[in-house]
Amino acid sequence: MSKSKLKGFKDFLKEEEGMGTVEIILIIVVLIGLVIIFKNQLRSLVESVFEKITSDSNTVMS
């Protein structure tokens, strides 16, 4: 690699900054979409987990 290409690559790496607002908004939109798509499955999963916790806690308390 020539020195100018290597310098250009180093400059590219230096000018990259952390995640921007657009990336964060896209991640949030995707997460909301997944929650909407799998809402029923998530609800049944959470309900079964809480039922299990409740039944196990009653066993421990007895």
Type of residue found at 57: S
pTM of the model: 0.49
Q: Looking at the predicted structure, is the pLDDT value of residue 19 above 80? A: no
Q: Looking at the predicted structure, is the pLDDT value of residue 23 above 80? A: yes
Type of residue found at 2: S
pLDDT at 16: 62
Higher pLDDT, 13 or 48: 48
For residues 28-37, one letter each, b for 16 or more C-beta atoms within 10 angstroms of the residue's C-beta and e for the rest, the string is eeeeeeeeee
**Are the CB atoms for 48 and 41 separated by under 8 Å?**
no
